[in-house]
A = this chain, B = another copy of it.
């Protein structure tokens, strides 16, 4: 059993060991373009996302980070005006193919949002929402899932005595970890995180960063952040987006220490954004 508590704490300072060649690519994005109505938000994105690694997406506001990560689990389609070209393959399946059901994709690919968005239900109900949706009804199994997920999200100790209280009673950081637990409950392979700490205080941020480090053993993680230090601290690979284009995509330490592109350099040195 993997719980956050029985692991030894991991340093949140970026390690400097070089990242080894990825064993496997879980997502393959090819020539991907996306429009909101008339406005193009993503231009010819090409990117492979490695398995069991943390991939960070950085870039200034409005550059298409959220759009990109929402394309990965087709959440972007909730905006009716969206049009897309190009392919995204998940585990070698074209996610836009009509054979591939979007619910299945989203079951394998969890997502955590910028603002914690628990349901106005109890903590317990929040966690088991996914499994219940997928037809699991037995109380015993659900209880087990809840405990396991909350432990994985490093929240169990804080909430185990108040599982049936409303989730809105939690602090922002706890809510965000609850959302992570909720997402872990359906045992996804990939977790997409869209600025998961931007609404949180420093302490909660640290907790979530540790958690991400722990989770990458079992999950492939894509994280959007506007905080470059955070990207540097926790990710293995980093992509820099600007105006809907991938300007640079590289191992994190390389990208930060030795950017290839002038714009990347300007951005990471705080020249704009």
Q: Which A residues have a C-beta under 8 Å from some C-beta of B?
A: 60-62, 199, 201-202, 205-206, 227-229, 270-273
Contacts and interface: CB of A to CB of B under 8 A. Distances in A.
A272 B60 contact: no
Nearest to A242: B202
A218 to B, nearest CB: 27
B273 A202 contact: yes
A79 B260 CA distance: 49
A164 to B, nearest CB: 26
B271 A229 contact: yes
15 contacts: A60-B201, A60-B202, A61-B199, A61-B201, A62-B201, A202-B271, A202-B272, A202-B273, A205-B272, A206-B272, A227-B270, A227-B273, A228-B270, A229-B270, A229-B271
A187 B227 CA distance: 38
A248 to B, nearest CB: 17
A61 B173 CA distance: 13
A201 B272 CA distance: 8
A177 to B, nearest CB: 17
Nearest to A12: B271
A273 B228 CA distance: 11
Nearest to A205: B272
Contacts of A229: 270-271
Contacts of A228: 270
Contacts of A273: 202, 227
